[in-house]
């Protein structure tokens, strides 16, 4: 009969004690606890951490096994994406849990984090956005407009895409309006000249018109 040896979580307990002694902001503390638990390979690390925190910090709440597992998952979710982590650290834990446990694409997650921080969304409003798929089409900080032209051709004949700033787009539009105006004026002058030429030709071929114009 195999007897499982007790796991020594002494190092993790020391880390947890040091974290709580720092009086970190809520999300900073949660991220640090999640990291400490995540570094343990044992399946029971989250439960052991929860039991230790509940026993040694009875005046603190939020350390149920389920919540500590969420802290571990929070750390793992943003471990390799510092941009998303910075966004997540700007909102509260309850809102983070809603976003973290929802099935979202990376773009949708970014949109949720940005809107929640910028608009100070409540949990109810955030859930409505997620349930109704009311995500922003693009991140808030993107420019309002991007011009997309496929005008250049590379040496091998393939079209090359060029992105231009909004200011250059406006300038191009203005130049386009000027060119269009010039073309219209030129066409009008040509049309008037053509009418005058036709009139003179008609007068030349009809002598009575010449006499009539001369008498008037």
pLDDT digits (tens, 9 = 90+) for 85-119: 999 999 999 999 999 999 999 899 999 999 999 99
- Does residue 109 belong to any structural domain of this protein? yes
Pairwise CA distance, residues 135 & 128, whole Å: 10
Both 16 and 113 in one domain: the answer is yes
Both 78 and 174 in one domain: the answer is no
Both 200 and 118 in one domain: the answer is no
Domain boundary among 109, 131, 153: 131
Both 28 and 117 in one domain: the answer is yes
Which domain does 30 fall in, by range?
Answer: 10-131
Could you say which DSSP state residue 23 is in? T
Pairwise CA distance, residues 50 & 67, whole Å: 8
Q: Please, which pLDDT band fits residue 58 given cuts at 50, 70 and 90?
A: very high
| Long-range contacts of residues 134-137, Cβ cutoff 8 Å, at least 24 apart | 135/107, 135/108, 135/111, 136/111
**153, pLDDT greater than 50:** no
- Does residue 182 belong to any structural domain of this protein? yes
Contact partners, residue 86, CB within 8 Å, separation at least 6: none
Q: Read off the pLDDT of residues 10-43 as tens digits, 9 standing for 90 and up.
A: 999 999 999 999 999 999 999 999 999 999 999 9
CB 97 within 8 Å of CB 126: no
Instruction: Give the global pTM.
Output: 0.61
Both 205 and 115 in one domain: the answer is no
- Does residue 206 belong to any structural domain of this protein? yes
Both 84 and 174 in one domain: the answer is no
Both 94 and 186 in one domain: the answer is no
């Amino acid at each position: 009969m195999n007897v499982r040896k007790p796991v020594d979580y002494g190092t993790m307990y020391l880390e947890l004690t040091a974290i709580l002694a720092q009086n970190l902001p809520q999300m900073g503390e949660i991220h640090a606890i999640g990291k400490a638990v995540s570094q343990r390979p044992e399946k029971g690390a989250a439960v052991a951490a929860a039991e230790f925190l509940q026993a040694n910090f009875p005046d603190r709440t939020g350390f149920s096994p389920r919540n500590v597992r969420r802290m571990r998952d929070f750390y793992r979710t943003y471990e390799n994406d510092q941009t998303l982590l910075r966004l997540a650290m700007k909102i509260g834990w309850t809102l983070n849990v809603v976003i973290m446990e929802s099935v979202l694409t990376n773009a949708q997650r970014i949109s949720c984090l940005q809107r929640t921080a910028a608009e100070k969304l409540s949990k109810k409003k955030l859930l409505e956005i997620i349930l109704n798929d009311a995500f922003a089409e693009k991140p808030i900080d993107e420019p309002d407009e991007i011009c997309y032209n496929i005008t250049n051709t590379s040496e091998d004949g393939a079209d090359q895409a060029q992105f231009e700033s909004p200011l250059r787009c406006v300038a191009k539009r203005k130049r386009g309006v000027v060119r269009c105006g010039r073309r219209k004026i030129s066409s009008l002058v040509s049309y008037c000249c053509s009418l005058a030429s036709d009139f003179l030709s008609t007068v030349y071929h009809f002598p009575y018109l010449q006499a009539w114009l001369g008498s008037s």
